Amino acid sequence: MVNRGNTKFYEAKGMYADSTVFDIFSYRMLLGDPETALTKPNSMVVTVSFAEKYFGTENPMGQSLTIDNQEEYVVTGLLEDIPQNSHFTFSFLISMVSDKSGLSDNWARYQFYTYLLIVENATPEVVDTKFPAILAIRIGEENAAAVKPFLQPLTEIHLRSHLFREMETNADIAYIYAYAAIALFIILLACINFMNLATAAATRRTKEVGVRKVAGAGRRALALQYLGEALLMSFMSLGVAIVLIEIFMPAFNGITGKNLSANLTDGSFLLPALLILTVIVGIISGSYPALVLSRLSPIRAIKGESGGAGGSSLRRALVTFQFAVTITLMIATAVVFSQRRYISAKSLGFDKHHLIVVPLRSNLLKSNHEAIKIELLRNPNISKVSASANMPGGSDYGVPIVADGLPPGETFAIRHLIADQNFIDTFGMEIVDGRELSTDYPDDERGSYLINEEAARQLGWDQPVGKSISIPAFKREQGTVVGVVKDFHFRSVHTPISPVIMYVQPSNWLTRISIKVLAGNIPELLASIEKIWTTFDPSQPFTYSFFDEEYDGLYNREKKGQQILGYFTAIAIFIAALGLFGLVTFAAETRTKEIGIRKALGASVSSIVSLLSGEFVKLVLIANLFAWPAAWWAINRWLENFAYRIEPGLGTFVMAGLLALAIAVITVSTQALKAATANPVEALRYE
């Protein structure tokens, strides 16, 4: 919490930084000297929007602010706001020398992110080889052997790094490739529509071509004419697209929670790339019609003959391709959504519902947590409460433990869940062996542990209860395992369940109280919880969160990605259906005479409809042959991301195929029906 007099806010984005931070990062300092701004203790550098919040229009330089009601800091520099797409963002920096924890000089703790600027022709790999020697001097050979520092390029982190505790939530390059691929396919589908309809309509232009040829137009001139028409169309579409982007970008950002902008005038690659894409699209869609039409012989063209069967067989191949893409996307979407359902239905090993989490922000609150718990439990709508340092879905302490049965000197990597004796009960977890921690056993405060089944399995313990464990990093000597917790998902279901150890730590470790509430009037309940909090520490603004929302946050990015996939699929289906609609309309039109003759000879409406639709239906069926293997490959690649995943059955594939078929049949038969029910006389009258 930062305050200046009565102006106080919680600031989540403050960081300690070395005085050299401005040598490495290119922040623009508006006021103050980058060389000296962060050299003295209790100095801070703030961003423009942060300064406005506390100082309004006053000059922030030399002003002071209080952090967490303890230390005062003097503003020594003003930075431009950090762009949203920066590697990391912050609203203020505090000089590293102000840190009193001593952690900044402790080489065995990894509390800080370290960035190096390597010299022009050094390679990161070479720098990496120097680390072990340095570490050995700082923390001793033995400890140094356990860590393997390495460098990664800053520009690679956002898209490619998936380490534990990244500076910011990173994106995944795989998603970007996937979107790009889907976007490409959608453009292709649209190109195909253009090619198909252009060649189909071209058969109507054959007379024009014939006349032009007779009048002396060469093949080249004609081909260029058609190509030019396609390019013109493509550029007009670009104009429309730019307008559409302007219109839909805010909605898209709303869905994705991103802050994308399509700025064409800032000189980035976007404008040239779009222009090139437009030209390519124009050429792809225009080249085939140009080729077919310019090749027609003038005599046949004048007689109104079309390009012949060759043209329509390519058209068939293209329609098949379109539907193969559409079906693939449908299968992928179906699998993605059923995986999502599977995950959310999967038992987590704890009950995430009806839990309100309230942070313990001050030492006053932490030391009074027992009294707060007692007060809370007085409320009949509150059934259980537990204070803890962390919880499932959040961070934990990455320190190894020493355990029975490990070779001397070796440690065991495990996740730590530090909580009071009520946690198991409050989160509805299950004890499968031994007992839970309890205030009835005074020893549980310092010397008892719970582990999960996975920990017991990995440690090779058949009888975990009674085994001893110590955690040297936290100065916890020999303690005993008193119980085993049924496995639960400490992290997202992407990762397999990892070993977890649970134990009690002194109250200054605690960060929050989780409150299990009975269904009821939530606002009223929150008001009474707030009252308890403010009686214990009136200096702290009251905040809370719902545990299930927070935990589900682990999947937010995925969920958005899947939503986008859903929209993409819908667009693809729409485009493919549109193309089909155009083709069948055209087919019905060119075959009016044939339909009339057949009807005069006694053909029924249904036989005409199936005559017109049958061909397209066949193509959709063939499309499945291509779509199924492609989808199979893609979804298996994607499912590999999950430690717990569905096995997509044949049913999904069949369903997607049937859906595509239904869409095709509905599209085609509306037009076919119109043609079939038309009066045959009309068709036969004209010549």
Partner 1 sequence: MIKTSGLKKLYVTEEVETTALNNINIEIDAGEFVAIMGPSGCGKSTLLNVLGMLDNPTDGEYYFLDHEVSSYTESQRANLRKNNLGFVFQSFNLIDELTVYENVELPLLYQKVAPAARKEKVMAAMDQMSMTHRKNHFPQQLSGGQQQRVAVARAVVARPKVILADEPTGNLDSANGDEVMGLLADLNKDGTTIIMVTHAPQYAEYSNRVIHLLDGRVVSEKMSGAGRA
Interface contacts to partner 1, rule CB under 8 A: 593-594, 596-605, 607, 677, 679-681, 684-685, 687
Q: Least distance to partner 1 from the beta carbon of 685, Å? A: 8
Place of tokens 């155009």: 582
First vs last C-alpha separation in the chain = 87
The number of C-alpha atoms within 13 Å of 228 and in the hemisphere containing its C-beta is 6
* Residue 207 CB-density burial (10 A; 0-12 exposed, 13-18 middle, 19+ buried): middle
Strands 14-17 and 64-67: unpaired
Q: Least distance to partner 1 from the beta carbon of 680, Å? A: 5
Residue 492 or residue 592: which is nearer to partner 1 going by CB?
592
Residue 450 or residue 619: which is nearer to partner 1 going by CB?
619
Query: DSSP 3-state assignment of 500?
Result: strand
Q: Least distance to partner 1 from the beta carbon of 595, Å? A: 10
Instruction: Write out the E strands in 578-634.
Output: none
Residue 476 or residue 593: which is nearer to partner 1 going by CB?
593
Contact 387, 533 (CB under 8 A): no
Residue 369 or residue 598: which is nearer to partner 1 going by CB?
598
In total, the chain counts a number of residues equal to: 687
Distances from the Cα of 41 to the Cα of 34, 36, 502, angstroms: 15, 11, 38
Q: 604: which 2 tokens?
A: 């029924």
Q: Least distance to partner 1 from the beta carbon of 325, Å? A: 30
Q: Least distance to partner 1 from the beta carbon of 298, Å? A: 17
Distances from the Cα of 314 to the Cα of 179, 197, 200, angstroms: 28, 12, 11
Residue 564 or residue 603: which is nearer to partner 1 going by CB?
603
Q: Least distance to partner 1 from the beta carbon of 612, Å? A: 13
Q: Least distance to partner 1 from the beta carbon of 335, Å? A: 42
Q: Least distance to partner 1 from the beta carbon of 305, Å? A: 8
CA–CA distance, 211 with 217 (Å, rounded to integer): 9
Residue 53 or residue 593: which is nearer to partner 1 going by CB?
593
Residue 275 or residue 600: which is nearer to partner 1 going by CB?
600
Residue 347 or residue 677: which is nearer to partner 1 going by CB?
677
For 405, left (φ over 0), alpha (ψ -120 to 50), or beta? left
Residue 80 or residue 682: which is nearer to partner 1 going by CB?
682
Residue 395 or residue 590: which is nearer to partner 1 going by CB?
590
Residue 139 or residue 684: which is nearer to partner 1 going by CB?
684
Residue 448 amino acid letter: S
Closest CA to 349 of 639, 647, 648, 644: 644
Distances from the Cα of 136 to the Cα of 128, 142, 411, angstroms: 14, 8, 19
Q: If you write DSSP's letter for every residue of 151-185 in order, what string do you get?
A: ---HHHHHHH---TT-SS----HHHHHHHHHHHHH
CA–CA distance, 468 with 78 (Å, rounded to integer): 53
Q: Least distance to partner 1 from the beta carbon of 684, Å? A: 6
Query: What interhelical angle do 556-590 and 605-639 show, nearest 10?
Result: 160
CA–CA distance, 572 with 491 (Å, rounded to integer): 35
Q: Least distance to partner 1 from the beta carbon of 200, Å? A: 15
Q: 226: which 2 tokens?
A: 């058609």
Q: Least distance to partner 1 from the beta carbon of 308, Å? A: 11
Residue 618 amino acid letter: K
Place of tokens 């869905």: 255
